[in-house]
């Protein structure tokens, strides 16, 4: 019984820990029994144990309802750091509810208790734990279908003001109905984050690069530009139909934006290598 789950066991929220499912950069996930239901418990690591980099960039624009807490977080007092940790954890719960309401396939949350998120365990057609996308080989037809699904999910996310911020084949599960997006504690508030567009582009690029291994024609799609333009025009709805095409305007290049994209590309490669190393360790 992991120490962090013991209070949930004492309170009758969790009845049994069945196995350790995986360990990531911000949490360890266990398979647990809650009454007659098999679920998963995501135990968030303490801030000094997390390897997730540049958390501040992701948290930019997040606003709490309590002004005292906001001031404490800005001053980085001990109380403020505790509140910031709670905000980091609650961000995933909030995002899961918002995205499910928008029609995005995500695990159903059942509550977050002292840094432990209880949520739905995603299973495959045989009743086994659904694999991560990076562990699956797809046909060309399936890759095209699932890529379209993910692009529409990215658009639905942005339609309610959310960007995943770390979307890749390592943060998507595949069950019998298609892809399920997971790992959202770093979810970005699109309207209040200066890095929102770059993060959206990175998410789309990561997923397109993965699916293009099986369907090379996908590499030429331009979903990120199409989605962002609809968002800026306030025309992005959760039932939007995307084409993957975009007509570039003849506007002089924004040098700062180009530099940011170059920087993001380097960081993306570093993050991809890190995720691959973590996947090998699981």
Domain assignment present for residue 140? The answer is: yes
Q: Which helix (H) or strand (E) holds 157?
A: helix 140-159
CA pair distance 96, 230, nearest whole angstrom: 23
Residue 61: the pLDDT is 55
Domain assignment present for residue 79? The answer is: yes
CA distances from 65 to 62, 68, 109, 184, 251 (A): 10, 9, 22, 20, 40
- Phi/psi for 80 (5° steps) reads -65, -40
CB 268 within 8 A of CB 202: yes
- Determine the average pLDDT of the residues in 250-273: 66
**DSSP helix, strand, coil percent of the chain (3-state; round to 5):** 45, 15, 35
- Name the band, by pLDDT with cuts 50, 70 and 90, for residue 52: very low
- How many helices (H) and strands (E) are present in the chain, helices listed first? 8, 9
Q: What percent of the chain has pLDDT over 90?
A: 64
**76 vs 140 pLDDT, higher one:** 140
**69 vs 174 pLDDT, higher one:** 174
Range with the poorest average pLDDT among 63-67, 84-88, 253-257, 263-267? 63-67
Q: Is the pLDDT of residue 49 over 80?
A: no
Residue 72: the pLDDT is 44
Q: Is the pLDDT of residue 63 over 80?
A: no
- Name the band, by pLDDT with cuts 50, 70 and 90, for residue 70: very low
Q: Mind listing the pLDDT tens digit for each residue in 199-223? A: 999 999 999 999 999 999 999 999 9
Adjacent-strand bridge partners of 41: 30, 118
Residue 281: the pLDDT is 64
Range with the poorest average pLDDT among 67-71, 130-134, 255-259, 277-281? 67-71
Mean pLDDT of the chain: 85
| Cα 117 to chain centroid, rounded | 15
Q: Is the pLDDT of residue 168 over 90?
A: yes
CA distances from 282 to 21, 23, 28, 139 (A): 9, 6, 10, 26
Q: What is the 3-state secondary structure of 214-267? A: CCHHHHHCCHHHHHHHHHHCCCCCCCCCCCCCCCCCCCCCCHHHHHHHHHHHHH
Q: What percent of the chain has pLDDT over 70?
A: 78
List CB contacts of 35: < 8 A, sequence separation 6 or more: 15
Residue 192: the pLDDT is 87
CA distances from 4 to 16, 25, 116, 188, 275 (A): 13, 17, 7, 27, 25
Domain assignment present for residue 179? The answer is: yes
Domain assignment present for residue 27? The answer is: no
- Name the band, by pLDDT with cuts 50, 70 and 90, for residue 99: very high
- Name the band, by pLDDT with cuts 50, 70 and 90, for residue 251: very low
Domain assignment present for residue 257? The answer is: yes
Q: Domain span at residue 145? A: 54-108+131-281
Q: Mind listing the pLDDT tens digit for each residue in 104-156? A: 999 999 999 988 999 999 999 999 999 999 999 999 999 999 999 999 999 99
CB 37 within 8 A of CB 112: no
CATH code, 180: 1.10.510.10
Domain assignment present for residue 2? The answer is: no
Domain assignment present for residue 274? The answer is: yes
Residue 81: the pLDDT is 58
Domain assignment present for residue 194? The answer is: yes
Q: Which helix (H) or strand (E) holds 81?
A: helix 78-101
Domain count across the chain: 1
- Determine the length of the chain: 282
CA distances from 40 to 8, 237, 244 (A): 13, 31, 35
């Amino acid at each position: 019984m992991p120490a962090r789950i013991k209070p949930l066991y004492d309170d009758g929220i969790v009845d049994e820990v069945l196995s350790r499912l995986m360990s990531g950069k911000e949490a360890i996930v266990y398979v647990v029994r809650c009454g007659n239901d098999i679920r998963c418990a995501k135990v968030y690591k303490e801030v000094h144990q997390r390897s997730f980099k540049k958390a501040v960039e992701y948290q930019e624009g997040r606003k709490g309802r309590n002004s005292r807490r906001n001031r404490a977080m800005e001053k980085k007092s001990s109380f403020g750091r505790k509140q910031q940790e709670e905000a980091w954890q609650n961000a995933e719960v909030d995002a899961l509810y918002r995205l499910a309401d928008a029609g995005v396939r995500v695990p159903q949350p059942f509550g977050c208790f002292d840094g432990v998120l209880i949520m739905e365990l995603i299973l495959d057609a045989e009743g086994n734990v659904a694999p991560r996308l990076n562990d699956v080989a797809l046909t060309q037809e399936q890759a095209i279908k699932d890529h379209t699904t993910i692009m529409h999910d990215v658009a639905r996310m942005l339609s309610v003001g959310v960007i995943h911020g770390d979307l890749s084949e390592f943060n998507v599960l595949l069950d019998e109905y298609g892809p399920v997006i997971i790992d959202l504690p770093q979810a970005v508030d699109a309207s209040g984050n200066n890095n929102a567009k770059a993060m959206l582009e990175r998410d789309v690029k990561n997923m397109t690069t993965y699916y293009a291994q099986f369907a090379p024609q996908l590499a030429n799609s331009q979903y990120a530009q199409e989605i962002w333009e609809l968002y800026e025009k306030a025309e992005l709805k959760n039932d939007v139909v995307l084409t993957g095409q975009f007509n570039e305007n003849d506007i002089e290049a924004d040098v700062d934006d180009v530099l940011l994209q170059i920087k993001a590309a380097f960081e993306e490669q570093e993050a991809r290598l890190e995720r691959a190393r973590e996947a090998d360790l699981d």
